[in-house]
Amino acid sequence: MLISSELTKLPAHVAIIMDGNGRWARKRGLPRIMGHRAGVKTVRSTVRCARELGISVMTLYAFSQENWGRPPDEVGALMDLLVEYLRQELDEMLGNRISLRAIGDLQRLPEEARLVLKETIERTAGNSEMILNLALSYGGRSELARAARRLAEECLKGRLRPEEIDEDVLADRLYTSGLPDPDLLIRTSGEYRLSNFLLFQAAYSELYITPVLWPDFSREEFMKALEEYQKRERRFGLISQQHLSSCTARGS
């Protein structure tokens, strides 16, 4: 197992689809919410590990737009867990200079969650060591529709001309504006799908899918994903030699 100092070529942005809490609980004959509780512990250890390694941005898919359709008691319990997590982690975020952000349709969150989230974002805004970005009430398709709406409004108001719209202009209207695209996208619990996560931003992310359920995703499992990432050759549509020479030219 590599230790942190030996990790070279770290992804700047790691995004994680934290899946499998329900199955983890079911395997133990526990209610689903106990799986979510166990999942929060994994969030804590994974964020700590990312911070120690020097990863700049970590985006965690915590609650999708589609997850609103789950039974109301599960949705309520997840919202309560969110509030509890944010309250418990504030000191650690401040101590480790982590800045919290959130992406998604945050207006849909219950008032308490919205307020604690807003407060945590504000209080950690000056931190610069790592960005912890929570995807909450998030859906990639509606993020794109919202961006399209914004662009249309700007054109109507005469602030933008349609021919000025390119990939960067569109990316600027996404929730993730200003953040680098994820280099590595991890999904736990063995499902081979994106489930509406970062559809635009993940165009060239390296995918790592593990059968390990999120509550069992240990530090060692995270390191395995990072080691696997280091072995990948990201070609971005080019051929190997071109890619290698552009890396040499950039000095990376």
Give the footprint of Mg ion on this chain (CB under 5 A): 19
* SS3 assignment, position 228: helix
227: Cβ–Cβ under 8 A, 6 or more apart, which residues? 2, 7
Find the binder of ligand IPE among 46, 59, 64, 205 (CB under 6 A): 64
Q: Rule CB under 6 A: is residue 182 a binding residue for ligand IPE? A: no
Closest CA to 109 of 71, 133, 73, 82: 82
**229, interface contact from ligand IPE, Mg ion, none, CB < 5-8 Å by kind:** none
CB of 62 to Mg ion, least distance (A): 12
The residue at minimum Cβ distance from ligand IPE is: 22
Tokens of 84: 């509890």
Distance of alpha carbon 6 from alpha carbon 55, whole angstroms: 14
Judged by CB, which is closer to Mg ion: 66, or 227?
Answer: 66
Judged by CB, which is closer to Mg ion: 19, or 89?
Answer: 19
Closest CA to 104 of 142, 72, 149, 153: 142
Judged by CB, which is closer to ligand IPE: 16, or 130?
Answer: 16
Q: Rule CB under 6 A: is residue 23 a binding residue for ligand IPE? A: yes
CB of 189 to Mg ion, least distance (A): 7
Find the binder of ligand IPE among 17, 38, 55, 77 (CB under 6 A): 17
**195, interface contact from ligand IPE, Mg ion, none, CB < 5-8 Å by kind:** ligand IPE
Judged by CB, which is closer to Mg ion: 31, or 48?
Answer: 31
Instruction: List the x/- string, 119-138, binding to ligand IPE by CB under 6 A.
Output: --------------------
Q: Which residues are catalytic?
A: 19, 67
Partner residues linked to 134 by β-bridges: 60, 102
Q: Rule CB under 6 A: is residue 22 a binding residue for ligand IPE? A: yes
CB of 190 to ligand IPE, least distance (A): 10
Provide the 10 A C-beta neighbour count for residue 95: 9
Stretch that binds ligand IPE, among 64-72, 110-118, 121-129, 141-149 (CB under 6 A): 64-72
99 contacts 131 by C-beta, under 8 angstroms:
yes
* Chain residues 78-117 in contact with ligand IPE, contact rule CB under 6 A: 78
Q: Which residue has the tokens 């039974």?
A: 71
Distance of alpha carbon 24 from alpha carbon 30, whole angstroms: 9
Beta-strand runs (E) in 4-129: 13-17, 57-64, 98-103
Burial of 165 (0-12, 13-18, 19+ CB in 10 A): middle
Binding site for ligand IPE (CB under 6 A): 17-23, 61-64, 66-67, 78, 189, 191, 193, 195
